Amino acid sequence: MRIGVYPGSFDPATYGHLDIIRRASRLFDKLIVAAMVNGEKRSAFTMEEKVDFLKRMTRDIPNVEVDCFDGLLADYVRDKGACAIVKGLRAVSDFEYEFQMALANKKLNPELDTVFLMTEQKYLFLSSTIVRDIARHGGDIAEFVPDEIRMDIMNKLDQTK
């Protein structure tokens, strides 16, 4: 069975992530979407909330499994018996950072490859930070996150209420 792992901090997950999940799910027998810790970032949502959001928005994709892990991605992928990491590439600015991470992961686990999918054009500008920012100011995030999770994000972040 070909297993892929799509990692991210998903704080929160957005339509941009969902687009990558849908497309990657067609490339693997099983796709594990793994909420992980990015040591450079402070999360607004708890791991439980992130996993719950991801589960709700991927309910209709049968070969997707949602999980979370606090440790090295290369170890996690090895434990899961996965053959590849999936990442979404947005703008040119992502490239250097992604290249560096892919090389580091390959050093840690030489059998591991990273597969990059181009993010759909309409989500090129999107990020979880932008979604949090709009939500905090009571703005409309309907275009950026699925309906299933929108109200929960607003309830947690909207400071104008």
Residue with tokens 């339509």: 15
Which of the residues 25, 50, 87, 90 is marked catalytic?
90
CA distances from 7 to 12, 25, 36, 73 (A): 13, 13, 6, 8
Q: Are 49 and 152 in contact (CB under 8 A)?
A: yes
How do beta strands 3-8 and 64-69 pair?
Answer: unpaired
**Nearest-angstrom CA–CA distance, 32 and 77:** 10
Residue 38 in the binding site for ligand COA (CB under 6 A)? yes
Both tokens of residue 68?
A: 């979370």
Residue 105 in the binding site for ligand COA (CB under 6 A)? yes
Using CB under 6 A, pick the residue from 21, 24, 88, 149 that binds ligand COA. Answer: 88
Using CB under 6 A, pick the residue from 123, 145, 150, 154 that binds ligand COA. Answer: 123
Is residue 108 within a helix (H) or strand (E), and if so which, with residue range?
A: helix 92-108
Q: Are 33 and 1 in contact (CB under 8 A)?
A: no
Residue 53 in the binding site for ligand COA (CB under 6 A)? no
Name the segment binding ligand COA (CB under 6 A); options: 6-14, 45-53, 56-64, 133-141: 6-14
Residue 101 in the binding site for ligand COA (CB under 6 A)? yes
Residue 73 in the binding site for ligand COA (CB under 6 A)? yes
**If binding means CB under 6 A, how many residues of this protein chain bind ligand COA?**
25
Question: In this chain, which residue has its C-beta nearest to ligand COA?
Answer: 16
**Nearest-angstrom CA–CA distance, 34 and 65:** 8
Residue 47 in the binding site for ligand COA (CB under 6 A)? no
For residue 135, which of 121, 149, 120 has the smallest C-alpha distance? Answer: 149
Contacts to ligand COA by CB under 6 A: 7-9, 11, 14, 16-17, 20, 36-38, 41, 72-73, 88, 90, 101, 104-105, 119, 123, 126-129
